[in-house]
Amino acid sequence: MSDLPAAIHIHEEGPREGFQIEPGPISAADKIRLIEALSETGLKSIQVCSFVNQRLVPGWADAEDVVAAFRATPEVAYSALWFNDKGLERALAFHDKLALSGTISLSASEAFNRKNLHRSHAENLDAMRKQTPLHLAKGVPVRRIGVMAAFGCNFQGDIAPAQVVRTVRDGLAVAAECDIAIDRLSLADSMGWATPLRIERVVGAVRSAWPDKEISLHLHDTRGMAVANAMAGLRLGVRRYDSTVGGLGGCPFAGQKGAAGNICTEELVMLCEEMGVATGVDLEKLLEVGRMAETIVGHPLPSELLHGGALAAFRRAAA
């Protein structure tokens, strides 16, 4: 375990990722309640909403109402997601409350790119060439490349590490055209194809090509492998992870109705804390929020830990 990082950074996406896929309707008040409760757990980064097409993602038709009303905690960076100029303009209206940053967002799968963004890879590169300068002109930094379907695709099948490297290289070419430096490469297991071996191969290939870039992982638990994949990432020294409380969410364009969502934040926290990797998160408070999330959505969430409970209470009882 000598290669494990001393600490990790968790980017909580439960509100945004979860409420985009729940059939709902879920009230703005409940969304706000969840965001504010998450803010009290020690999490430092929370993605609160999507500024996206309301017809395609009706769960975030009330994005403006939610962002305007939730009570922000000074120690927490709140972010949002958008995919086009209109979404950016909507986000900019809250520049004083949201930590706005842009992403060169690509997919390693041509088929998923068409399902998710209704563009070919070439068309999406053109869109990024237009969108990135717009971000910069609006004072929004762009320091990250995100690669969806980096470990496999329900529509295209296996994705070779070399394809992921090519996709990152395309993103870096866009960045170079815009004269910006990229700090971080985010690799997303959008449809739950990753295994520990795939994590090792893809992260290894990307890191070999760009050893100076920080890698982050966005893991889905579609096939129950997310914690094992996080462990593989930890052993590789990956220090940044996206997750969702209770395992909220999933991709609405993955073609797999009812699949589990992202890696559960509480399970990631427990994995790390039990191995001496600091997260800064109060696990018992987080479990309370996860149970709140189940009440809000009205059905059980995938997290086993919500029902099994943290070990701290049992340790106290046994002491």
Question: Which residues are the active-site residues?
Answer: 251
d(CA 210, CA 192): 25
CA 315: distance to chain centroid?
A: 32
Give the integer Cα–Cα distance in Å for 224 and 291.
20
- Residue 81 near residue 59 (C-beta atoms within 8 A): no
Please report where in the chains the tokens 């929370």 appear, as a residue: 46
How much helix, strand and coil, in percent to the nearest 5, is found in the chain?
A: 45, 15, 40
Query: Cα–Cα distance between 75 and 263 in angstroms, integer?
Result: 24
Longest Cα–Cα distance in the chain:
61
Instruction: Kindly report the length of the chain.
Output: 319
Contact 91, 63 (CB under 8 A): no
- At residue 48, the 3 state secondary structure works out as strand
Report CA torsion sign: 153, 186, 172, 97: positive
Helix or strand (DSSP H, E) at 11:
strand 9-12
d(CA 306, CA 136): 42
Residue 159: count other Cβ atoms within 10 Å of its Cβ.
Answer: 22
Contact 33, 296 (CB under 8 A): yes
Secondary structure class of 299 (helix, strand, coil): coil
Question: Among 172, 113, 104, 107, which residue's Cα sits nearest to residue 132?
Answer: 104
Question: What are the start-end ranges of the E strands in 137-278?
Answer: 142-148, 184-189, 214-219, 240-243
